[in-house]
């Protein structure tokens, strides 16, 4: 039992380290202007906007994964590989963020970014489904599973719509990405587990 706990903690610790590195890489693209005046900051708005959205996305991923892993049990080999694929896709965010910033939210970079969000969300949905399927049925109700599935599909639809719209209206696509992220601000998993049950596990 102790070994299973250590394995789960190693998986979480590795994911946390990767997220920290990704955020650090993204913030390095924020270059301070040479001029000592506030108007000099205005040309940096594409970088700031793309960084803020990507940072929010990573924060949402981390928070949702944190709540899910509370009752995931000992990680299976399948879950470990799903997590690695998920982290690989998330690691591409600094590239997409930089391209959006340097092209000032141009069409093709925005399509790529939205497409990356779609891929990340798909693999996260697989991750979430794997955890919920293997979770104790007494801790996760059927209605909660259905609610989580509906929300995941709704967010995924939002990212897909953003990818399509970005071809013609990239800034509208950017707005759709932001709207889809709002649905993930409150982790569904936080209400799946009774605190008393969690303490007694």
CA 193 to each of CA 4, 5, 128, 137, 147: distance values in angstroms, whole numbers, following the listed order: 20, 18, 15, 11, 14
- This model's pTM is above 0.75: yes
pLDDT on residue 118: 95
Q: What pLDDT is attached to residue 200? A: 43
Burial 181-199 (b: 16+ CB within 10 A, else e): beebeebbbeebbeeeeee
Domain count, the chain: 1
CATH assignment at residue 138: 1.20.1410
Query: Is residue 132 predicted with pLDDT exceeding 50?
Result: yes
Domain that holds residue 19: 2-199
Q: How far apart are CA 67 and CA 124, in angstroms?
A: 13
Do 61 and 90 touch, CB atoms closer than 8 A?
yes
Rounded to 10 deg, the angle between the 107-134 and 77-90 helix axes is 160
- Could you read off the pLDDT of 25-70 as tens digits, one per residue? 888 877 777 777 788 888 888 888 889 999 999 998 888 888 787 7
Q: What is the DSSP letter of 72?
A: -
Residue tagged 């794997």 (tokens): 130
pLDDT of residue 193: 46
How many Å apart are CA 63 and CA 184, to the nearest integer?
Answer: 9
């Amino acid at each position: 039992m102790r070994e299973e706990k250590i394995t789960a903690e190693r998986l979480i610790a590795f994911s946390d380290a990767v997220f920290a590195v990704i955020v650090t890489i993204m913030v390095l693209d924020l270059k301070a202007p040479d001029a000592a005046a506030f108007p000099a900051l205005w040309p940096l708005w594409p970088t700031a906007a793309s960084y803020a959205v990507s940072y929010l996305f990573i924060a949402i991923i981390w928070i949702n994964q944190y709540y899910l892993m509370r009752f995931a049990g000992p990680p299976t080999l399948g879950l470990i590989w799903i997590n690695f694929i998920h982290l690989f896709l998330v690691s591409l965010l600094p590239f997409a963020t930089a391209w959006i910033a340097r092209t000032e939210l141009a069409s093709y970079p925005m399509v790529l970014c939205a497409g990356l969000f779609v891929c990340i969300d798909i693999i996260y949905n697989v991750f979430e489904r794997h955890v919920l399927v293997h979770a104790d049925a007494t801790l996760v109700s059927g209605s909660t599973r259905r609610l989580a599935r509906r929300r995941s599909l709704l967010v995924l639809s939002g990212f897909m719509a953003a990818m399509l719209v970005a071809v013609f209206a990239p800034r509208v696509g950017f707005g759709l990405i932001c709207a889809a992220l709002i649905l993930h601000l409150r982790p569904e998993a936080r209400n799946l587990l009774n605190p008393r049950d969690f303490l007694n596990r």
